Chain A
Amino acid sequence: MANATFRIWRGDKSGGGYKDYPIETSEGMVVLDAVHQIQASQANDLAVRWNCKAGKCGSCSAEVNGFPKLMCMTRLNTLDLTQPVTVQPMQTFPVIRDLVTDVSWNYEVKKTIQKMKTRKPDASDGTWRVNQRDVDRPQEFRKCIECFLCQNVCHVLREHQMFSEFVGPRFFVYAAALEMNPVDAADRVADLKDKHGIGLCNITKCCTHVCPEEIKITDNAIIPLKERVVDEFFDPVRKLFKMFKG
Protein backbone atom coordinates (compact mmCIF):
# COMPACT_ATOMS: atom_id res chain seq x y z
CA MET A 1 0.00 0.00 0.00
CA ALA A 2 1.31 3.43 -0.93
CA ASN A 3 2.44 5.38 2.11
CA ALA A 4 4.15 8.38 0.54
CA THR A 5 3.62 10.69 -2.38
CA PHE A 6 6.41 12.15 -4.43
CA ARG A 7 5.59 15.36 -6.25
CA ILE A 8 8.14 15.45 -9.04
CA TRP A 9 8.72 18.25 -11.52
CA ARG A 10 8.31 16.96 -15.07
CA GLY A 11 9.09 19.00 -18.12
CA ASP A 12 11.83 20.55 -20.17
CA LYS A 13 13.04 24.02 -21.12
CA SER A 14 9.76 24.87 -22.75
CA GLY A 15 7.94 24.37 -19.45
CA GLY A 16 6.47 21.76 -17.17
CA GLY A 17 4.80 21.12 -13.86
CA TYR A 18 4.54 18.83 -10.86
CA LYS A 19 3.13 15.35 -11.04
CA ASP A 20 2.23 13.20 -8.04
CA TYR A 21 3.48 9.62 -7.69
CA PRO A 22 2.26 7.52 -4.78
CA ILE A 23 4.76 4.87 -3.73
CA GLU A 24 5.38 2.33 -1.05
CA THR A 25 8.44 3.12 0.98
CA SER A 26 10.60 0.76 2.97
CA GLU A 27 13.19 1.18 5.67
CA GLY A 28 16.50 2.76 4.73
CA MET A 29 15.23 4.26 1.47
CA VAL A 30 16.67 7.47 0.10
CA VAL A 31 15.00 9.93 -2.28
CA LEU A 32 16.94 8.53 -5.23
CA ASP A 33 15.54 5.05 -4.46
CA ALA A 34 12.05 6.49 -4.54
CA VAL A 35 12.73 8.22 -7.84
CA HIS A 36 14.10 4.96 -9.26
CA GLN A 37 11.06 3.07 -8.04
CA ILE A 38 8.80 5.60 -9.77
CA GLN A 39 10.91 5.39 -12.91
CA ALA A 40 10.66 1.60 -12.92
CA SER A 41 6.98 1.32 -12.20
CA GLN A 42 5.13 4.50 -13.13
CA ALA A 43 7.20 6.82 -15.30
CA ASN A 44 9.74 5.05 -17.48
CA ASP A 45 10.64 8.27 -19.21
CA LEU A 46 11.50 10.19 -16.01
CA ALA A 47 14.94 11.74 -16.52
CA VAL A 48 17.31 11.67 -13.56
CA ARG A 49 21.09 11.86 -13.44
CA TRP A 50 22.91 9.64 -10.99
CA ASN A 51 25.96 7.47 -10.81
CA CYS A 52 27.40 6.31 -7.52
CA LYS A 53 24.50 6.28 -5.08
CA ALA A 54 27.07 6.96 -2.41
CA GLY A 55 27.34 10.74 -2.30
CA LYS A 56 30.62 10.74 -4.14
CA CYS A 57 29.98 11.49 -7.81
CA GLY A 58 27.94 14.66 -7.35
CA SER A 59 25.46 13.80 -10.12
CA CYS A 60 22.15 13.48 -8.29
CA SER A 61 21.79 17.09 -7.11
CA ALA A 62 18.20 18.32 -6.91
CA GLU A 63 15.88 20.20 -4.59
CA VAL A 64 13.95 18.13 -2.09
CA ASN A 65 11.15 20.05 -0.38
CA GLY A 66 12.81 23.18 -1.67
CA PHE A 67 16.21 22.46 -0.17
CA PRO A 68 19.26 21.67 -2.33
CA LYS A 69 20.25 18.06 -1.64
CA LEU A 70 21.96 15.01 -3.07
CA MET A 71 19.04 12.67 -3.70
CA CYS A 72 21.13 9.63 -2.88
CA MET A 73 22.05 11.00 0.55
CA THR A 74 18.61 12.15 1.62
CA ARG A 75 16.99 9.43 3.68
CA LEU A 76 13.23 9.32 3.72
CA ASN A 77 13.16 9.13 7.51
CA THR A 78 14.47 12.70 7.56
CA LEU A 79 11.41 13.90 5.61
CA ASP A 80 7.80 14.41 6.57
CA LEU A 81 6.02 11.71 4.56
CA THR A 82 2.56 12.75 5.66
CA GLN A 83 2.76 15.45 3.00
CA PRO A 84 3.86 15.03 -0.61
CA VAL A 85 7.64 15.27 -0.98
CA THR A 86 8.52 17.71 -3.74
CA VAL A 87 11.49 16.93 -5.92
CA GLN A 88 12.54 19.51 -8.47
CA PRO A 89 15.63 20.16 -10.58
CA MET A 90 18.22 22.70 -9.46
CA GLN A 91 16.68 26.12 -10.07
CA THR A 92 19.85 27.96 -10.96
CA PHE A 93 20.80 26.02 -14.07
CA PRO A 94 18.89 25.53 -17.32
CA VAL A 95 16.73 22.42 -17.18
CA ILE A 96 17.32 19.77 -19.82
CA ARG A 97 14.52 17.43 -18.82
CA ASP A 98 12.72 16.55 -15.57
CA LEU A 99 15.35 16.45 -12.83
CA VAL A 100 18.34 16.89 -15.14
CA THR A 101 19.95 20.32 -15.53
CA ASP A 102 22.71 21.60 -17.73
CA VAL A 103 25.62 22.44 -15.42
CA SER A 104 28.18 22.99 -18.18
CA TRP A 105 28.52 26.70 -17.31
CA ASN A 106 30.52 25.50 -14.31
CA TYR A 107 33.06 23.74 -16.48
CA GLU A 108 33.56 26.89 -18.52
CA VAL A 109 34.03 28.95 -15.36
CA LYS A 110 36.64 26.54 -14.07
CA LYS A 111 38.79 27.28 -17.10
CA THR A 112 38.98 30.96 -16.12
CA ILE A 113 40.81 30.17 -12.87
CA GLN A 114 44.58 30.34 -13.18
CA LYS A 115 46.14 26.91 -13.19
CA MET A 116 48.73 25.81 -10.67
CA LYS A 117 52.12 27.37 -11.23
CA THR A 118 54.71 25.48 -9.22
CA ARG A 119 57.41 27.34 -7.35
CA LYS A 120 61.10 26.43 -7.74
CA PRO A 121 61.69 22.83 -6.62
CA ASP A 122 63.27 22.36 -3.17
CA ALA A 123 65.44 19.42 -4.12
CA SER A 124 67.86 18.86 -6.97
CA ASP A 125 65.72 15.99 -8.28
CA GLY A 126 62.98 18.53 -9.07
CA THR A 127 60.70 17.71 -6.11
CA TRP A 128 59.29 19.74 -3.22
CA ARG A 129 59.35 19.28 0.51
CA VAL A 130 55.97 20.05 1.97
CA ASN A 131 54.84 19.81 5.57
CA GLN A 132 51.63 17.83 6.10
CA ARG A 133 50.28 20.65 8.23
CA ASP A 134 50.44 23.02 5.26
CA VAL A 135 48.54 20.68 2.97
CA ASP A 136 45.79 19.96 5.48
CA ARG A 137 44.09 23.24 4.69
CA PRO A 138 43.86 22.92 0.88
CA GLN A 139 43.02 19.26 1.38
CA GLU A 140 39.65 20.15 2.89
CA PHE A 141 38.79 21.76 -0.43
CA ARG A 142 39.86 18.70 -2.37
CA LYS A 143 36.87 16.85 -0.91
CA CYS A 144 34.62 18.75 -3.30
CA ILE A 145 32.59 16.38 -5.51
CA GLU A 146 31.39 19.12 -7.84
CA CYS A 147 27.75 18.53 -7.11
CA PHE A 148 27.17 22.28 -7.65
CA LEU A 149 24.59 22.45 -4.89
CA CYS A 150 26.46 25.44 -3.48
CA GLN A 151 26.31 27.13 -6.88
CA ASN A 152 22.62 26.34 -7.03
CA VAL A 153 21.77 27.84 -3.65
CA CYS A 154 23.97 30.93 -3.85
CA HIS A 155 21.62 33.88 -4.27
CA VAL A 156 24.10 35.79 -6.45
CA LEU A 157 23.54 33.16 -9.13
CA ARG A 158 20.10 31.86 -8.18
CA GLU A 159 18.32 35.16 -7.67
CA HIS A 160 20.49 37.70 -9.43
CA GLN A 161 21.83 35.51 -12.22
CA MET A 162 25.21 37.23 -12.28
CA PHE A 163 26.77 34.42 -14.26
CA SER A 164 29.16 36.63 -16.18
CA GLU A 165 30.53 38.40 -13.10
CA PHE A 166 30.60 35.81 -10.34
CA VAL A 167 32.22 32.37 -10.32
CA GLY A 168 30.27 31.09 -7.31
CA PRO A 169 31.28 29.32 -4.10
CA ARG A 170 32.48 26.11 -5.78
CA PHE A 171 35.13 28.06 -7.63
CA PHE A 172 36.20 30.06 -4.61
CA VAL A 173 36.82 26.68 -3.02
CA TYR A 174 38.79 25.66 -6.10
CA ALA A 175 40.75 28.92 -6.16
CA ALA A 176 41.45 28.62 -2.42
CA ALA A 177 42.80 25.09 -2.87
CA LEU A 178 45.32 26.43 -5.38
CA GLU A 179 46.00 29.74 -3.69
CA MET A 180 46.78 28.13 -0.32
CA ASN A 181 48.82 25.32 -1.81
CA PRO A 182 52.38 25.71 -0.48
CA VAL A 183 53.86 24.67 -3.83
CA ASP A 184 51.81 27.09 -5.91
CA ALA A 185 53.36 30.41 -6.92
CA ALA A 186 50.57 31.98 -8.98
CA ASP A 187 48.66 35.03 -7.71
CA ARG A 188 44.90 34.83 -8.21
CA VAL A 189 43.95 37.66 -5.89
CA ALA A 190 43.44 40.37 -8.51
CA ASP A 191 41.35 37.97 -10.61
CA LEU A 192 39.25 37.06 -7.59
CA LYS A 193 38.46 40.70 -7.00
CA ASP A 194 37.95 41.91 -10.56
CA LYS A 195 37.08 38.98 -12.75
CA HIS A 196 35.59 36.46 -10.36
CA GLY A 197 33.48 38.81 -8.27
CA ILE A 198 34.38 37.69 -4.75
CA GLY A 199 33.05 41.05 -3.51
CA LEU A 200 29.58 39.97 -4.61
CA CYS A 201 29.49 37.25 -1.97
CA ASN A 202 27.78 38.66 1.11
CA ILE A 203 28.85 35.78 3.36
CA THR A 204 25.33 34.61 4.06
CA LYS A 205 26.66 31.02 4.21
CA CYS A 206 23.96 29.19 2.25
CA CYS A 207 26.72 27.45 0.30
CA THR A 208 28.18 26.10 3.54
CA HIS A 209 24.77 24.88 4.71
CA VAL A 210 24.14 22.77 1.62
CA CYS A 211 27.61 21.31 0.98
CA PRO A 212 27.26 17.52 1.28
CA GLU A 213 31.01 17.23 1.86
CA GLU A 214 30.70 19.63 4.78
CA ILE A 215 33.39 21.90 3.42
CA LYS A 216 33.36 25.10 5.45
CA ILE A 217 33.13 27.07 2.23
CA THR A 218 32.50 30.51 3.70
CA ASP A 219 34.74 30.36 6.76
CA ASN A 220 37.67 28.47 5.31
CA ALA A 221 37.70 29.43 1.63
CA ILE A 222 35.75 32.61 0.87
CA ILE A 223 36.55 34.74 3.92
CA PRO A 224 40.29 33.91 3.84
CA LEU A 225 40.30 34.84 0.14
CA LYS A 226 38.42 38.07 0.88
CA GLU A 227 41.10 38.83 3.46
CA ARG A 228 43.81 38.28 0.84
CA VAL A 229 41.95 40.72 -1.40
CA VAL A 230 41.95 43.22 1.49
CA ASP A 231 45.71 42.70 1.90
CA GLU A 232 46.34 43.65 -1.70
CA PHE A 233 43.68 46.26 -2.38
CA PHE A 234 42.06 47.71 0.72
CA ASP A 235 44.74 48.00 3.37
CA PRO A 236 46.67 51.25 2.93
CA VAL A 237 48.87 50.72 5.99
CA ARG A 238 49.98 47.34 4.76
CA LYS A 239 50.70 48.86 1.35
CA LEU A 240 52.88 51.56 2.91
CA PHE A 241 54.65 48.97 5.00
CA LYS A 242 55.35 46.90 1.91
CA MET A 243 56.63 49.96 0.05
CA PHE A 244 59.17 50.71 2.76
CA LYS A 245 60.20 47.09 3.02
CA GLY A 246 60.80 47.20 -0.70
Chain B
Amino acid sequence: MPSIDVPVRNGGFGQTSRRDNWWLAPLLTFIGLGAFVLYANVRVFQGDHYHFGPYLSPFYSPEIVGPSPHAWFQVAARPAWWPGFLPFSAALLVMWAPVGFRMTCYYYRGAYYKAFWADPPNCSVGEPRKSYWGERSWPLVIQNIHRYFLYFALIFIGILAHDAWKAYWFADGFHVNVGSLVMTLNPILLGGYTLGCHSFRHLIGGGMDEISKSPSRAAAYDCVTCLNKKHMVWAWCSLVWVAFSDVYLVLCSTGVWQDRRIF
Protein backbone atom coordinates (compact mmCIF):
# COMPACT_ATOMS: atom_id res chain seq x y z
CA MET B 1 0.00 0.00 0.00
CA PRO B 2 1.30 3.42 -0.90
CA SER B 3 2.14 5.83 1.86
CA ILE B 4 2.52 9.60 2.15
CA ASP B 5 4.10 11.97 4.57
CA VAL B 6 1.84 14.64 5.94
CA PRO B 7 3.05 17.05 8.58
CA VAL B 8 0.78 16.54 11.58
CA ARG B 9 -1.13 19.76 11.89
CA ASN B 10 -3.97 18.66 14.11
CA GLY B 11 -2.49 19.12 17.51
CA GLY B 12 -3.95 18.01 20.79
CA PHE B 13 -7.15 16.74 22.26
CA GLY B 14 -10.18 18.77 21.32
CA GLN B 15 -8.35 20.92 18.83
CA THR B 16 -10.52 21.89 15.88
CA SER B 17 -11.52 24.84 13.75
CA ARG B 18 -15.16 23.82 14.16
CA ARG B 19 -17.36 26.55 15.60
CA ASP B 20 -20.44 24.55 16.44
CA ASN B 21 -21.06 22.76 19.73
CA TRP B 22 -19.35 19.59 18.56
CA TRP B 23 -19.03 18.34 22.14
CA LEU B 24 -22.78 18.32 22.74
CA ALA B 25 -23.70 15.08 20.91
CA PRO B 26 -20.95 12.96 22.52
CA LEU B 27 -21.75 14.52 25.90
CA LEU B 28 -25.43 13.58 25.59
CA THR B 29 -24.42 10.05 24.60
CA PHE B 30 -22.08 9.91 27.57
CA ILE B 31 -24.78 11.05 29.98
CA GLY B 32 -27.49 8.84 28.45
CA LEU B 33 -25.46 5.63 28.29
CA GLY B 34 -23.70 6.34 31.56
CA ALA B 35 -26.99 6.88 33.38
CA PHE B 36 -28.43 3.70 31.93
CA VAL B 37 -25.41 1.60 32.88
CA LEU B 38 -25.46 2.97 36.43
CA TYR B 39 -29.17 2.40 36.85
CA ALA B 40 -29.00 -1.09 35.32
CA ASN B 41 -26.15 -2.09 37.63
CA VAL B 42 -27.98 -0.94 40.72
CA ARG B 43 -31.14 -2.77 39.69
CA VAL B 44 -29.50 -5.97 38.55
CA PHE B 45 -27.51 -6.40 41.75
CA GLN B 46 -30.44 -5.39 43.92
CA GLY B 47 -32.42 -8.56 43.16
CA ASP B 48 -35.65 -7.03 44.48
CA HIS B 49 -38.78 -5.16 43.32
CA TYR B 50 -38.55 -6.65 39.88
CA HIS B 51 -42.06 -8.01 39.56
CA PHE B 52 -45.48 -6.67 40.29
CA GLY B 53 -48.70 -8.60 39.68
CA PRO B 54 -48.43 -10.11 36.21
CA TYR B 55 -45.47 -7.90 35.26
CA LEU B 56 -41.84 -8.90 35.19
CA SER B 57 -39.02 -6.38 34.73
CA PRO B 58 -37.20 -6.74 31.39
CA PHE B 59 -33.89 -6.72 33.31
CA TYR B 60 -34.97 -9.97 34.94
CA SER B 61 -36.64 -11.67 32.01
CA PRO B 62 -36.54 -14.58 31.56
CA GLU B 63 -36.29 -15.37 35.23
CA ILE B 64 -34.67 -18.77 34.98
CA VAL B 65 -34.15 -19.36 38.68
CA GLY B 66 -35.71 -17.10 41.26
CA PRO B 67 -38.22 -16.56 44.01
CA SER B 68 -40.98 -14.82 42.01
CA PRO B 69 -43.99 -16.61 40.48
CA HIS B 70 -42.54 -15.77 37.04
CA ALA B 71 -39.51 -18.04 37.55
CA TRP B 72 -39.07 -21.12 35.39
CA PHE B 73 -37.53 -22.87 38.38
CA GLN B 74 -38.95 -21.32 41.50
CA VAL B 75 -36.67 -21.36 44.53
CA ALA B 76 -37.53 -19.95 47.92
CA ALA B 77 -34.00 -18.92 48.87
CA ARG B 78 -30.57 -18.51 47.38
CA PRO B 79 -29.55 -21.84 45.79
CA ALA B 80 -26.45 -23.51 47.25
CA TRP B 81 -24.61 -23.43 43.91
CA TRP B 82 -24.87 -19.64 43.61
CA PRO B 83 -21.36 -18.15 43.90
CA GLY B 84 -20.83 -16.65 47.35
CA PHE B 85 -19.32 -13.38 46.17
CA LEU B 86 -22.38 -12.49 44.06
CA PRO B 87 -25.68 -11.23 45.38
CA PHE B 88 -28.49 -13.59 44.39
CA SER B 89 -30.17 -11.93 41.42
CA ALA B 90 -31.95 -13.75 38.62
CA ALA B 91 -30.93 -10.94 36.27
CA LEU B 92 -27.29 -11.97 36.42
CA LEU B 93 -28.11 -15.20 34.57
CA VAL B 94 -29.60 -13.45 31.56
CA MET B 95 -28.21 -9.91 31.40
CA TRP B 96 -25.10 -10.92 29.46
CA ALA B 97 -27.20 -11.47 26.34
CA PRO B 98 -28.82 -8.01 25.95
CA VAL B 99 -25.67 -6.33 27.31
CA GLY B 100 -23.46 -8.19 24.83
CA PHE B 101 -25.88 -7.42 22.03
CA ARG B 102 -25.90 -3.69 22.70
CA MET B 103 -22.19 -3.49 23.45
CA THR B 104 -21.35 -5.03 20.07
CA CYS B 105 -24.09 -3.18 18.12
CA TYR B 106 -22.62 -1.18 15.27
CA TYR B 107 -24.52 1.93 16.27
CA TYR B 108 -23.53 1.83 19.95
CA ARG B 109 -19.94 1.04 19.05
CA GLY B 110 -19.61 4.17 16.95
CA ALA B 111 -21.39 6.18 19.64
CA TYR B 112 -19.38 5.00 22.64
CA TYR B 113 -16.04 5.15 20.85
CA LYS B 114 -16.78 8.84 20.45
CA ALA B 115 -18.41 9.56 23.80
CA PHE B 116 -16.36 7.36 26.15
CA TRP B 117 -13.07 6.97 24.35
CA ALA B 118 -12.84 10.19 22.29
CA ASP B 119 -11.75 8.18 19.29
CA PRO B 120 -12.53 10.70 17.78
CA PRO B 121 -14.39 13.04 20.18
CA ASN B 122 -16.30 14.18 17.11
CA CYS B 123 -15.62 14.59 13.38
CA SER B 124 -12.49 16.64 12.61
CA VAL B 125 -11.71 17.18 16.30
CA GLY B 126 -8.30 16.26 17.76
CA GLU B 127 -7.91 13.07 19.78
CA PRO B 128 -6.18 12.54 23.11
CA ARG B 129 -4.06 9.56 21.98
CA LYS B 130 -1.78 9.03 19.05
CA SER B 131 -1.78 5.22 19.00
CA TYR B 132 -4.71 3.44 17.41
CA TRP B 133 -5.64 -0.19 16.78
CA GLY B 134 -9.27 0.06 15.77
CA GLU B 135 -11.29 -3.12 15.65
CA ARG B 136 -8.58 -4.98 13.83
CA SER B 137 -6.76 -6.45 16.78
CA TRP B 138 -7.46 -7.65 20.29
CA PRO B 139 -9.51 -6.66 22.28
CA LEU B 140 -11.92 -4.94 19.90
CA VAL B 141 -11.70 -7.65 17.27
CA ILE B 142 -14.20 -9.42 19.54
CA GLN B 143 -16.89 -7.04 18.23
CA ASN B 144 -17.10 -9.37 15.26
CA ILE B 145 -19.19 -11.81 17.28
CA HIS B 146 -22.16 -9.42 17.16
CA ARG B 147 -24.25 -11.80 15.06
CA TYR B 148 -24.09 -14.46 17.77
CA PHE B 149 -25.59 -12.03 20.26
CA LEU B 150 -28.19 -11.26 17.63
CA TYR B 151 -29.36 -14.88 17.69
CA PHE B 152 -30.01 -14.56 21.43
CA ALA B 153 -31.62 -11.15 20.99
CA LEU B 154 -34.12 -12.63 18.53
CA ILE B 155 -35.12 -15.17 21.18
CA PHE B 156 -35.48 -12.36 23.70
CA ILE B 157 -38.08 -10.60 21.54
CA GLY B 158 -40.21 -13.76 21.88
CA ILE B 159 -39.65 -13.91 25.62
CA LEU B 160 -40.56 -10.26 26.14
CA ALA B 161 -43.59 -10.66 23.88
CA HIS B 162 -44.68 -13.51 26.14
CA ASP B 163 -44.16 -11.25 29.19
CA ALA B 164 -46.27 -8.60 27.50
CA TRP B 165 -49.05 -11.11 26.87
CA LYS B 166 -48.98 -12.15 30.50
CA ALA B 167 -49.23 -8.50 31.51
CA TYR B 168 -52.93 -8.57 30.54
CA TRP B 169 -53.84 -11.51 32.75
CA PHE B 170 -54.58 -10.52 36.32
CA ALA B 171 -55.88 -12.60 39.23
CA ASP B 172 -59.41 -11.59 38.18
CA GLY B 173 -58.97 -12.32 34.48
CA PHE B 174 -58.14 -10.30 31.37
CA HIS B 175 -57.75 -6.55 31.90
CA VAL B 176 -55.80 -3.67 30.48
CA ASN B 177 -53.82 -1.63 32.98
CA VAL B 178 -51.34 1.13 32.26
CA GLY B 179 -48.62 -1.36 33.17
CA SER B 180 -49.90 -3.78 30.50
CA LEU B 181 -49.29 -1.12 27.88
CA VAL B 182 -45.88 -0.26 29.34
CA MET B 183 -44.91 -3.92 29.11
CA THR B 184 -46.30 -4.23 25.57
CA LEU B 185 -44.19 -1.40 24.23
CA ASN B 186 -41.07 -3.27 25.29
CA PRO B 187 -41.08 -6.09 22.73
CA ILE B 188 -42.30 -3.67 20.05
CA LEU B 189 -39.40 -1.25 20.55
CA LEU B 190 -36.94 -4.06 21.09
CA GLY B 191 -38.23 -5.74 17.95
CA GLY B 192 -37.74 -2.54 15.94
CA TYR B 193 -34.21 -2.31 17.27
CA THR B 194 -33.24 -5.96 16.87
CA LEU B 195 -34.85 -6.52 13.48
CA GLY B 196 -33.08 -3.43 12.14
CA CYS B 197 -29.67 -4.79 13.17
CA HIS B 198 -26.90 -4.46 10.59
CA SER B 199 -25.88 -8.08 11.03
CA PHE B 200 -29.47 -9.19 10.55
CA ARG B 201 -29.64 -7.08 7.41
CA HIS B 202 -26.60 -8.87 6.09
CA LEU B 203 -27.78 -12.35 7.05
CA ILE B 204 -31.30 -11.88 5.72
CA GLY B 205 -30.11 -10.94 2.26
CA GLY B 206 -27.43 -8.26 2.27
CA GLY B 207 -24.77 -10.90 1.72
CA MET B 208 -26.32 -11.85 -1.63
CA ASP B 209 -25.44 -10.00 -4.81
CA GLU B 210 -28.49 -11.29 -6.66
CA ILE B 211 -31.22 -11.01 -4.09
CA SER B 212 -33.82 -10.58 -6.84
CA LYS B 213 -33.58 -14.33 -7.36
CA SER B 214 -35.23 -14.99 -4.00
CA PRO B 215 -38.21 -12.64 -3.68
CA SER B 216 -39.05 -13.56 -0.09
CA ARG B 217 -35.57 -12.64 1.11
CA ALA B 218 -35.70 -9.49 -1.00
CA ALA B 219 -38.92 -8.46 0.76
CA ALA B 220 -37.42 -9.27 4.17
CA TYR B 221 -34.28 -7.32 3.29
CA ASP B 222 -36.39 -4.30 2.40
CA CYS B 223 -38.20 -4.45 5.74
CA VAL B 224 -34.95 -4.78 7.68
CA THR B 225 -33.41 -1.93 5.68
CA CYS B 226 -36.39 0.24 6.51
CA LEU B 227 -35.88 -0.35 10.24
CA ASN B 228 -32.11 -0.11 9.86
CA LYS B 229 -32.33 3.44 8.52
CA LYS B 230 -33.57 4.54 11.94
CA HIS B 231 -31.46 2.09 13.93
CA MET B 232 -30.15 4.80 16.23
CA VAL B 233 -33.66 5.96 17.11
CA TRP B 234 -34.81 2.40 17.80
CA ALA B 235 -31.68 1.81 19.86
CA TRP B 236 -32.41 4.76 22.14
CA CYS B 237 -36.17 4.32 22.38
CA SER B 238 -35.85 0.66 23.28
CA LEU B 239 -33.12 1.40 25.82
CA VAL B 240 -35.10 4.16 27.50
CA TRP B 241 -38.23 2.02 27.56
CA VAL B 242 -36.49 -0.94 29.16
CA ALA B 243 -35.35 1.40 31.94
CA PHE B 244 -38.73 3.10 32.18
CA SER B 245 -40.68 -0.16 32.47
CA ASP B 246 -38.34 -1.19 35.26
CA VAL B 247 -38.85 2.16 37.00
CA TYR B 248 -42.60 1.69 36.60
CA LEU B 249 -42.40 -1.70 38.29
CA VAL B 250 -40.28 -0.40 41.15
CA LEU B 251 -42.63 2.49 41.78
CA CYS B 252 -45.71 0.26 41.63
CA SER B 253 -44.26 -2.44 43.81
CA THR B 254 -43.14 0.08 46.42
CA GLY B 255 -46.58 1.69 46.34
CA VAL B 256 -45.42 5.08 45.09
CA TRP B 257 -47.48 4.76 41.90
CA GLN B 258 -50.84 3.13 41.37
CA ASP B 259 -51.11 0.84 38.37
CA ARG B 260 -54.32 2.28 36.93
CA ARG B 261 -56.88 0.03 35.26
CA ILE B 262 -58.09 1.12 31.84
CA PHE B 263 -60.69 -1.65 31.48
Contacts and interface: CB of A to CB of B under 8 A. Distances in A.
A pairs with B: yes
Interface string A99-140: 000100100110010000000000000000001011000000
Interface in B145-174: 145-147
A219 B198 contact: yes
A96 to B, nearest CB: 12
Given A65-B18, A66-B19, A67-B124, A133 B4 contact: no
Given A134-B210, A181-B209, A205-B110, A63 B6 contact: no
Interface stretch (A25-33, A35-43, A223-231): A223-231
Contacts of B17: 63, 65-66, 86, 88
B41 to A, nearest CB: 25
Contacts, number: 162
The 7 A-B pairs of least Cβ separation, nearest first, read A66-B17, A199-B136, A206-B123, A66-B18, A200-B134, A227-B202, A131-B212
Given A63-B17, A204-B113, A227-B199, A164 B132 contact: no
Nearest to A181: B209
A172 to B, nearest CB: 13
Interface of B: 1-10, 16-20, 106, 109-110, 113-114, 119-120, 122-124, 126-127, 130-137, 140-141, 144-147, 198-199, 201-203, 206-207, 209-213, 218, 228-229
Given A67-B18, A86-B17, A200-B134, A94 B6 contact: yes
Contacts of B122: 206
A180 B114 CA distance: 30
Contact of B123 (A80, A153, A184): A153
Q: Is the interface of B mostly helix, strand, loop or mixed?
A: loop
Contact of A162 (B5, B16, B132, B228): B132
A134 B110 CA distance: 29
Contacts of A108: 2
A8 interface: no
Given A63-B17, A133-B218, A199-B136, A163 B1 contact: yes
23 contacts: A65-B18, A67-B123, A93-B4, A94-B6, A105-B4, A131-B212, A153-B124, A155-B120, A155-B123, A158-B124, A160-B132, A161-B8, A163-B1, A163-B6, A182-B209, A195-B1, A204-B114, A219-B198, A219-B229, A223-B106, A224-B198, A227-B147, A230-B144
Contacts of A153: 123-124
A94 B9 CA distance: 10
Contacts of B4: 93-94, 102, 105, 163
Contacts of A231: 202, 207
A159 interface: yes
Contacts of A165: 1
B207 A200 contact: no
A59 interface: no
B51 to A, nearest CB: 35
Given A134-B209, A158-B10, 7 more contacts: A91-B124, A94-B6, A155-B120, A163-B2, A163-B4, A201-B135, A224-B207
Interface in A186-212: 195-197, 199-206, 209-210
